Structure 1
Amino acid sequence: MTFQPNQPTSGTLEHIARSTVQIPRAEQWTMKSRHGNHAYQIMVFQPAEAPPPSGYPVIYLLDANSVFGTMVEAVRVQGRRPEKTGALPAIVVGIGYPSPGPFSPHRYYDFTPQTTTEYTQNSDGMPLPKQGGADEFLQFIEEELKPDMERQFQIDRSRQAIFGHSLGGLFVLHTLFKKPEAFRYYIAGSPSLHWNQNVMLAEEQEFVARLEQHPVNVKVWIGMGEQEKTHPARNNDKALSLTERLSALNQPGLDIKYTEFEEENHVSVLPFLISRTIRFACSPES
């Protein structure tokens, strides 16, 4: 990121040397999936602090084009003093797209289990992008991205988290229902539960039915902005109901909670979710 003022207001400013602002200890590269040949911009932050004997906790971050910097700065600052902040140093693996914008249309494909039957167009009237590739995207994460990260970095496989917002939050819950052993911590920010409603309900029921024979060991956190209550989708109500249904199961290995952030909306809630995620997924006591 480079700061370029429109016009210098002082003769002195004209002679100041400028340089690009970079995120410390972060790097990125393009990775193509074997299934589908989709291109992803992989962004990785590695802490300056030495790893624990078991390796660093790791946060896999969706929509990295929009929130990688926010997550990294939260991890970098909080991870310096775990005894004060309650957050260990962690690796952040951002999954983004080779696109200049904060959100790529391809996220509709990656984050949705099936093509929606409820909606035909965006709020701007344009047709929706292709959808229904969530299982393929999860396969890429599990079979290609994770092994590559574990070869390159010292990662504690028992301390893996996934963070997604909006449609990304929907994908987080889809992953929980379909492959709960993939992660220890699931953070679904403002999940788009109005999308694929019948599909997600069926996945939830299958997940619950498997719990007796296949208990889980996961911590799930759903966070929403208070102002999202006014949206016709009613996703706050849907998220709270989901939390209550899963909590009522009293499964010892399933820890789920719901938080609503006062005076925040669907987008402004993101920094609050990210800051809280560090303590949720990287606590020394977890």
Structure 2
Amino acid sequence: MSTINREYAEPGGAAAGVLERVTMPRSEQRTMRSRAENREYRIFIAVPEGEAPPSGFPVVYVLDANSVFGTMVEAVRVQSRAPERTGVIPAIVVGIGYPTDGPFHPARHYDFTREIRLEDLPFKLRAGERPEHGGAEAFMAFIEDELKPRIEETYPVDRRRQTIFGHSLGGLFVLHMLYAKPEAFQCYVAGSPSIHWNKQVLLEEERAFASKLSASAGESTGETADIKLFLAIGELEKSHHTGGGENAAELCERLSALSEYGMVTEFKEFEGEGHVSVLPPLISRAVRFALRPEPADRQV
């Protein structure tokens, strides 16, 4: 097997026939370390063209950014060119990734999960080495207390329109964040969420969240929640031994009952797609769900 070696010129400075690295327009990356645990993250940021609206741009925070940041950015960039036709407005995309050139990093297992007893581990993991896990609370604090303030002080952000997107274990983390800190985002997208991981604890969180939501709506303020949740799976996931398809569909049915308290829940099963292949159509639909124009956004 041969190895391909290339020398690249700086972008914009290459003579004819000289290779340049491909870059994503209006995108950049930086490294951040969490204060609590000194964990290293690679943060990817893409900003729309043009002037921000008076309220700022909506923001979509993306987990597993090494694998899906590019797809999310292009989905937003292409669909938001004509909001009056596509129903998608421009948004800043912030990807939370890791110091690797691969699509995934083992650290995601720690960041996206809560502590679990050995006997409660999903059975497919019992025979192998127990993965490092249990860092969801610290990761949530990093997002809320460090990353979001940095983004908000650097870019024109509409704090009323913030979305978090996660898939698989990332989808599990999105659900945990919804239950634990629902005010953190206005829109939550959980694709193929790994509900089987510590399922009983997640159910307890769900019940506590539902009780809190109904209690808040019953107070004299008369205010309702401003929360949207999009759940999705691939059709081929329904046959998987973890029961991911059934888990997600049943969850959507339960949470749909919270619509009277102002929560919007939507479920989509993508025909012919599996756990990984579902990502592109999931991202496309998530963009339309999260970035719908408000009346003031629409162009007449």
TM-score normalised per structure 1: 0.91
Alpha-carbon distance between aligned partners in 2 of 1:23 and 1:44, rounded to the nearest angstrom:
10
What is the aligned-residue RMSD (CA, Å)? 1.8
Q: Is the 8 A contact 2:114 2:134 kept in 1?
A: yes
Alignment map for 1:1-286 (pairs within 5 Å): 16-115=17-116, 117-119=120-122, 122=125, 126-215=128-217, 216-285=225-294
2:25 partner letter: P
Alpha-carbon distance between aligned partners in 2 of 1:272 and 1:241, rounded to the nearest angstrom:
21
2:200 partner letter: N
Alpha-carbon distance between aligned partners in 2 of 1:101 and 1:150, rounded to the nearest angstrom:
28
Query: Structure 1 stretches of 5 or more lacking a match?
Result: 7-14
3-state secondary structure, aligned to 1:27? strand
Q: Which residue of 2 aligns with 1:10?
A: none
TM-score normalised per structure 2: 0.87
- Note the C-alpha offset of 1:119: 3.4
Q: Which residue of 1 aligns with 2:10?
A: none
3-state secondary structure, aligned to 2:102? coil
Alpha-carbon distance between aligned partners in 2 of 1:65 and 1:126, rounded to the nearest angstrom:
26
Give CA-to-partner distance per residue, 1:166-209, whole Å, 9 cap, x none: 00000000001111011000000000011010110110111111
* Residues 1:265 and 1:5: Cα distance change in structure 2 (over 3 Å): farther
- Note the C-alpha offset of 1:213: 2.6
Alpha-carbon distance between aligned partners in 2 of 1:251 and 1:109, rounded to the nearest angstrom:
35
Alpha-carbon distance between aligned partners in 1 of 2:22 and 2:160, rounded to the nearest angstrom:
34
Alpha-carbon distance between aligned partners in 2 of 1:246 and 1:121, rounded to the nearest angstrom:
28
* Residues 1:121 and 1:263: Cα distance change in structure 2 (over 3 Å): closer
3-state secondary structure, aligned to 1:108? helix
3-state secondary structure, aligned to 2:31? strand
- Note the C-alpha offset of 1:120: 6.9
- Note the C-alpha offset of 1:52: 1.1
Query: Structure 2 stretches of 5 or more lacking a match?
Result: 7-15, 218-224, 296-300
Aligned residue pair count: 274
214-223 vs 20-29, which moves further: 214-223
Give CA-to-partner distance per residue, 1:120-142, whole Å, 9 cap, x none: 7659x641321011111011100
Runs of 4+ aligned residues of structure 1 deviating over 4 Å after TM superposition are: 120-123
Q: Is the 8 A contact 2:164 2:189 kept in 1?
A: yes
Q: Identical aligned pairs, as a percentage? A: 53
3-state secondary structure, aligned to 1:157? strand
1:258 partner letter: F
- Note the C-alpha offset of 1:277: 1.4
